[in-house]
A and B are shown apart, each in its own frame.
Chain A
């Protein structure tokens, strides 16, 4: 894929050259079935407890730093 260089203004007001977006040519022909990557029940549950950890993990409380539910 060819790199595209674009000129942008950086935070300090200077003009800088940065790499622009690069897209693959063409259109996808089928849905991006990422969920199919998880096959077994164990994998799915592990994903729920980590990837979707906001709700299900015993260790992760994110911004809600308390272990006793409200």
Chain B
């Protein structure tokens, strides 16, 4: 019992971990206990970039000691920087490839080659057309969309010049990227270049490798990720505030439960349509179910939650637990963050695990490929598989009672609208409240869950500490879901948990103190929000001038490293928790933690204790306030045990 409690801060998860133990089903939490991380790899000191290795090259801690090298002579610095850069490239590639799929579908939709998708947000299309220099005039919507789609597609294979969305950044930031040679040229090109540079015998200067990694990450944040966000918004609608429910309690015992897990919203959007088809509902009833219940997991969940209010079953570490309820008829997975163990867990129950993307097969899973020309039919086929499976439930069904209300859908445009209204839409009220001190600063708290640390706990503690100290939090990914599960995504949370200044602003506008901005690729929305604050004036003329900070307290994915790196290269102080992948080399770590501050006026930091990490963010925010001349002496309020208990009781 004590052991299970130590695995998650979320009661619903604890309940399912116990059920798994009782039924002899192994989960990620068990494997994390059994398999300790390799200490050499964990600190980035293992190179396996050629057949003479792997070489274990840990830098000596004592001064004057002989510095070991790999067989080829590579130093600990080179190896550490290489590994770090490859993580960035892996993450950027994941986001970029996701974006390419979206761009392809967008173009096919614009050309009328697929019938199940449409342009839902005309205004956002015009916004992109303006950014891309596409003529609007009286032209047909379809022609404008085709031009936009073709330009977006070309960004992936662009060989020279500058990626187009870089122009959205503050002018000063653009200049800095040009001066430092870190302005990205093309989305694919930067990833390929990192793979080349880090090949044996190429770039062997850690500073140069790290700078190239910054350029690569920028091609993610201001390139691949931003393209995904924008084109998804045009096709599925820009997110607007919508109420939803979150946690495993959203599953329904008497319904056919289908979980959509992964990152791409294309199939989930179609499943939403198909699940509303009366014919499908009737079919479910014919099998003895009361209806069809669609729920999300990971970022596919964030996407359909934000656009349709479809409930979210949970975040990364809850994927196995959802199946363990015994109530899930089918789980579809597309790309990213799906654990291979799902097959084994699904086998213990009746759940059908269905892979849907040609790039992500799982041995032992059923594969029904998503094909855009047949989108709705495929969605219906998946639903039928799930419905047919309803009578096959065998294990005892146990659905945790926990589920809670959330309000989500705070796109950058919606924040702009909510703060200023339709006629005076603007970030001005936010800037004014930062200047007058009611809001101390802005924090982006994002990223994953990690089985090496207490599930959700660090997200929660960090966010509470920040909002308690009047720092407004923008959140995405699994972090957003953690916040949702604890009731932080409702307007009422402002009164309950935020400091007086922040609470008064949230109450006036009617927004939560923690704003859900979407999925992992939607971190690009945070870049846009930060830029809008800069452009509105009064808080400096670059992102690095803002009283703002970023964090991923429970990160695990390479995508998180890419996101962190583009936050830093965009001028944000960014702190990560759990583990840090360059600890094997003091020089590399110093360059990221200090050297980058000189180059990018933004830097990395690492702190395992989430409250201390929040403290560092607040300290940074106060430093920036001072530099802007808007500092007022104020104490940090520590979130004490009484407040914690109050939260736990909630």
Given the complex of chains A and B, what is the CA–CA distance between A30 and B242 in angstroms? Answer: 7
Name the interface residues of A36-54: CB closer than 8 Å to any CB of B. Answer: 37-38, 41, 44-45, 47-48, 50-54
Selecting from B44-52, B170-178, B281-289, the interface stretch reads B170-178
Cβ B540 vs Cβ A63 within 8 A: yes
B198 in the interface, Cβ–Cβ < 8 Å? no
* Chain B interfacial residues counted at CB < 8 A: 54
Residues B534 and A63 in contact, CB atoms below 8 Å apart: yes
A21-B494, A32-B240, A32-B242 given; A55·B414 CB < 8 A: no
Is B537 in contact with A20, judged by CB distance below 8 angstroms? no
* Complex interface: chain A residues within 8 A of B243 (CB): 27-28
**CB of B426 closer than 8 Å to a CB of A:** yes
- B414 touching A34 by the CB < 8 A rule? yes
| Number of A positions contacting B (CB below 8 A) | 34
A9 to B637, CA, bound (A): 15
State the total of A-B contacts with C-beta under 8 angstroms: 109
Question: Is the beta-carbon distance between B168 and A70 smaller than 8 angstroms?
Answer: no
A38: contacting residue among B123, B172, B409, CB under 8 A: B123
- Tell me how far the C-beta of A37 lies from the nearest C-beta in chain B, rounded to whole angstroms: 6
B425: chain A residues within 8 A (beta carbon): 47, 50-52
B500 partner residues in chain A, CB cutoff 8 A: 8-9
Asked if A54 and B172 make an inter-chain contact with CB atoms under 8 angstroms apart, the answer reads: no
Contact in complex: B170, A48 (CB < 8 Å)? no
Is B531 an interface residue when CB atoms closer than 8 A count as contact? yes
How far is it, in angstroms, between the C-alpha of A50 and the C-alpha of B426 when the chains are bound? 9
Given contacts A45-B126, A63-B541, contact A34 B535 (CB under 8 A): no
A57 to B416, CA, bound (A): 16
Which B residues touch A53, using CB under 8 A? 426
Give chain A nearest CB distance to B52 CB in angstroms.
47
- Chain A residues lying within 8 Å of B420, measured Cβ to Cβ, are 51
CB <8 Å contact, A54 and B536: yes
CA distance A27 to B507 in the complex (A): 16
Does A64 sit within 8 A of B, measured CB to CB? yes
List the B residue with the shortest CB-CB distance to A64.
B171
B-side interface residues toward A, CB under 8 Å?
A: 121-123, 126-127, 130-131, 136, 168, 170-172, 174-175, 237-238, 240-243, 307-309, 405, 409, 413-414, 416-417, 420, 422-427, 491-492, 494-495, 500, 503, 507, 510, 531-532, 534-541
A-B contact pairs, 5 of them (CB 8 A): A23-B491, A41-B136, A52-B416, A64-B172, A64-B535
